[in-house]
Amino acid sequence: MTYQRALKSVAVIAVALGLAGCISLFPKAKPTQMYRFGVSDTPSTAVATGVAIARTPTAFTRPAAGDRILTSNGQETAYIAEARWIAPAALMFDDAVERTFESRATGPRYITRGDLPAADLALRLDVGTFEARYLEGPDAAPTIVVSMRATLVRTRDRAILGEKIFSSSQRAADNRVGPIAAAFDVAVKQSLTAMADWTSATAG
Query: In sequence order, what are the residues at sequence separation of 6 or more whose Cβ sits closer than 8 angstroms to the Cβ of residue 167?
Result: 129, 145, 146, 147, 148, 191
Answer for the pair 132, 163: CB distance below 8 angstroms, yes or no: no
pLDDT at 115: 58
Q: How far is CA 146 from the centre of its chain?
A: 11
Answer for the pair 153, 83: CB distance below 8 angstroms, yes or no: no
Superfamily (CATH) of domain 32-203: ABC-type transport auxiliary lipoprotein component (3.40.50.10610)
Answer for the pair 54, 119: CB distance below 8 angstroms, yes or no: yes
Closest of 96, 173, 170, 164 to residue 126, by C-alpha:
164
Tens-digit pLDDT string for the chain (204 aa): 543 443 344 343 333 434 344 343 444 456 789 999 988 766 554 455 578 888 888 999 999 999 999 999 988 999 999 999 999 999 999 999 988 988 876 667 787 666 556 788 999 999 999 999 999 999 999 999 999 999 999 988 999 999 999 999 999 999 999 999 999 999 999 999 999 999 999 987
Q: Hey, where are the domains in the chain?
A: 32-203
pLDDT at 56: 86
pLDDT at 39: 81
Residue 96 in 3-state DSSP? Answer: helix
Could you tell me the pTM of the whole model? 0.79
- Any idea how long the chain is? 204
Q: What is the 3-state secondary structure (H, E, C) of 148-190?
A: EEEEEEECCCCEEEEEEEEEEEEECCCCCHHHHHHHHHHHHHH
pLDDT at 143: 98
pLDDT at 111: 77
pLDDT at 168: 97
pLDDT at 103: 82
pLDDT at 12: 39
Report residue 65: phi and psi, to 5°. Answer: -75, -25
Handedness of CA 84, 185, 129, 171 (dihedral sign): negative
Query: In sequence order, what are the residues at sequence separation of 6 or more whose Cβ sits closer than 8 angstroms to the Cβ of residue 182?
Result: 172, 173
Q: How far apart are CA 168 and CA 37, in angstroms?
A: 15
